[in-house]
């Protein structure tokens, strides 16, 4: 049942991210999209991967992944590897920002809270 809920949340968040990408401007696109993307990754992983291990592992792995992608943007990954496909350039990103790192940290907080709550419910 939990995986179904996470799957529905994943689809909802993906729809919101697509709408942000197509129509939003200003702080919604610049900040809210980055906050939501780590939550989207979390719900996607929790849909696919059954809960195992410590409660903090999945959110931490997602945050590390998001930081790696951001640092690849700083390094110029798309340009260095000649990625010209516009869709891939949008997904990977082409512009590094310290603010994006902060947005990822803000976005992962609800994921840590959800994992903590789910771990407590499972042990009770």
Question: What is this structure's pTM?
Answer: 0.91
Convert 42-77 to b/e letters by CB count within 10 Å (16 or more is b): bbbbbbeeeeeeebeebbeebbeebeebbebbeeeb
pLDDT above 90 for 53: no
Task: Place 104 in a pLDDT band, splitting at 50, 70 and 90.
Answer: very high
Q: What pLDDT is recorded for position 79?
A: 94
C-alpha span between 74 and 124 (Å, rounded): 44
3-state secondary structure (DSSP) of residue 115? helix
C-alpha span between 45 and 62 (Å, rounded): 9
pLDDT above 70 for 124: no
Work out the percent of the chain whose per-residue pLDDT is above 70.
98
For residues 31-52, average pLDDT? 93
Evaluated on CA atoms 16, 26, 100, 76, the torsion sign reads positive
For residues 92-117, average pLDDT? 95
For residues 108-114, average pLDDT? 97
Using alpha carbons, list the distances in angstroms from residue 64 to 4, 61, 71. Answer: 26, 5, 10
pLDDT above 90 for 41: yes
For residues 38-46, average pLDDT? 97
pLDDT digits (tens, 9 = 90+) for 72-89: 999 999 999 999 998 888
Q: Per the structure block, which two tokens stand in for 107?
A: 């976005």
pLDDT digits (tens, 9 = 90+) for 2-39: 899 999 999 999 999 999 988 999 999 889 999 999 99
């Amino acid at each position: 049942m939990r995986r179904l809920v996470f799957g529905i949340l994943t689809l909802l968040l993906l729809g919101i991210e697509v709408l942000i990408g197509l129509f939003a401007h200003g702080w919604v696109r610049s900040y809210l999209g980055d906050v939501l993307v780590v939550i989207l990754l979390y719900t996607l992983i929790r849909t696919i991967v059954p809960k195992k291990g410590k409660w903090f592992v999945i959110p931490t792995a997602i945050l590390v992944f998001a930081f790696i992608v951001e640092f690849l943007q700083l390094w110029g990954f798309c340009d260095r590897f000649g990625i010209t496909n516009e869709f891939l350039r949008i997904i990977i990103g082409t512009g590094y920002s310290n603010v994006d790192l902060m947005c990822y940290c803000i976005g992962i907080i609800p994921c840590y809270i959800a994992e903590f709550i789910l771990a407590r419910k499972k042990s009770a």
